[in-house]
Amino acid sequence: MREQLKAAFTKFPFCLATYVCLIGAGWLLAFGWKPVKKDFPIYDSPIAESVAHDTAHKLGGRAWAVGNTGSMKPLLQGGEYVVTVSKFDEIEVGQILVYHASYNRNPIIHRAALKDKHGWLMSGDSAKVSESWSRVTMDNYLGTAVVGYRKP
């Protein structure tokens, strides 16, 4: 074990990998990591719900009322209406999706953080960690948010 540890710092190519990892860890500690965010426009309207449903109809999508959980603050405060379209194959990291989750009976609206072989990992903007216990797949996906409306 002692020789392996020594080789990690002194023998090529092991030392190169070790130093690259240390530099990367140092960079994250010094400067942090910011998630990718692909926000949609949010418009003020005194008739937000009606406008959202009209927009959803025109786009062939669906309008959703956003709950007051605070999980997507600061973008979504709660009480907004979000319009989604169904484009599962076009999802990108940072987009906001609506989906069914096994741990909640109501649809969830969160940001796509990472895709793995099981589906999309999601995260609320105000969360410090992603939802690693659940994935968004074609089976529980309800739509990708494209526009939002809130009452002024």
Distance of alpha carbon 78 from alpha carbon 45, whole angstroms: 15
The Cα–Cα gap between 139 and 135 comes to 10
Reported as a single tens digit per residue, the pLDDT across 36-93 is: 889 999 999 999 999 999 999 999 999 999 999 999 999 999 999 999 999 999 999 9
Model pTM score? 0.76
pLDDT for the residue numbered 36: 82
Q: Which of 83, 40, 80 is nearest to 63 (CA)?
A: 83
| Cα 112 from Cα 123, distance rounded (Å) | 7
Contact criterion met (CB below 8 Å) for 108 and 100: yes
Q: How far apart are CA 61 and CA 64, in angstroms?
A: 10
Largest Cα–Cα distance in the chain?
A: 70
Q: Place 28 in a pLDDT band, splitting at 50, 70 and 90.
A: very low
